[in-house]
Amino acid sequence: MLKIAKYILLDIIRSKVLLAYTLLLLAISLTIFISDADVTKGLVSITTVILIIVPLVSVVYATTYYFNAAEFTEMLVAQPISRRNILLGKFIGISSAVLLAFIIGVCIPVGLFAFNATGLTLMLSGCLLTLSFLSLAFFTSVITRDKAKGIGLALMIWFYFSIIFDGLVLLFLYTFADYPLEKAMIVLTALNPIDLARILILLQLDISALMGYTGALYQQFFGSGYGIAFSLFMQLVWIILPLGLALRIFKKKDL
C-alpha cells in the first residue's frame, strides 16, 4: 500500500497541473496578506478562496487522475495485492500530493502572516476539506466506468455543495419559517462539508454576519466551542464515509 502511494506521489509531483495549483494558491495568499495590513480581513478573503477553489481542484484532479491511471490499476489488480491496499494506496498518494500543494500554497503564508488560533483553524479546515472532496472523488470514480461521466459527476458534486445546497437551505427556511428550525439547521449544515469548513473558520473569527443565515443559527445554538467540535467531527465523517463506500464497491467491482 505504501509503495503504491509512494509511486503515485512521485508521479503526481512532476505534474504541471498540480504545480500550477500550488503557485496559484501561493500567489493568491501572498497577494492578500501583502495588500492588506489587517490580518483578519486577509483570513476572511483566503477563506472565501479556499471554499471555492480547493474543493473544485481536489475533486476534479483526483477523478481525472484515477481514470488516467486505469491501466495501472488493472495491472495492480492482476498482482497478489488486495484491492483494499490498492485503493488506499492510491488515495494516500493522491491526497499527500494535493495536501502538499495546499500546505505550500496556503498554510505557509498563513503561518508567516497569521500564526494564531484562527490561522491554525483555517489550515486544519482547509486540509479536512481537501480530504473530504478527495474522498468524494474516489467514490464517484469507482461507481462509473466512463471518464466523462465520472468527471461530470465530480463537477456536479462540487456545484451542488458550493451553490445549489445553500439555495435549497434558503428555500427550506422560507417554506417552514413559522416552525422552530434550529435543530433542523444543524442537521442540514452537517450535510455539506463546505458549510462545515466555513463554520469551523468563521466561528474562530467571530464574524457571524459573514457566515450567512445558516451559520448564524449554528453559532447561536451551539456556541463557538461546541460548534467547532461538531464541525471537526462531521468533517472526519465526510472523509471516512465516502472512502469506505468506495472501498466496498471497488472490492466487488469488475474491472
Q: How far is CA 232 from the centre of its chain?
A: 13
HSE of 254, CA atoms in CB hemisphere, 13 A: 0
| 36 vs 29: CA distance, rounded Å | 11
162-210 tens-digit pLDDT: 889 888 888 887 887 777 766 777 788 788 899 888 877 777 776 554 4
69-111 tens-digit pLDDT: 878 878 887 887 888 888 898 999 999 999 999 999 999 999 9
Task: Give the residue carrying C-alpha cell 445546497.
Answer: 165
In this prediction, residue 224 carries a pLDDT of 56
Domain ranges of the chain: 2-252
101-155 tens-digit pLDDT: 999 999 999 998 888 888 888 899 899 999 999 999 999 989 888 888 889 999 9
- Cα 32 to Cα 29, 61, 72, 87, 207: the distances in Å are 5, 25, 41, 38, 19
Helix (H, G, I), strand (E, B) or coil at 114: coil
Helix (H, G, I), strand (E, B) or coil at 144: coil
151-172 tens-digit pLDDT: 999 999 999 998 898 888 888 8
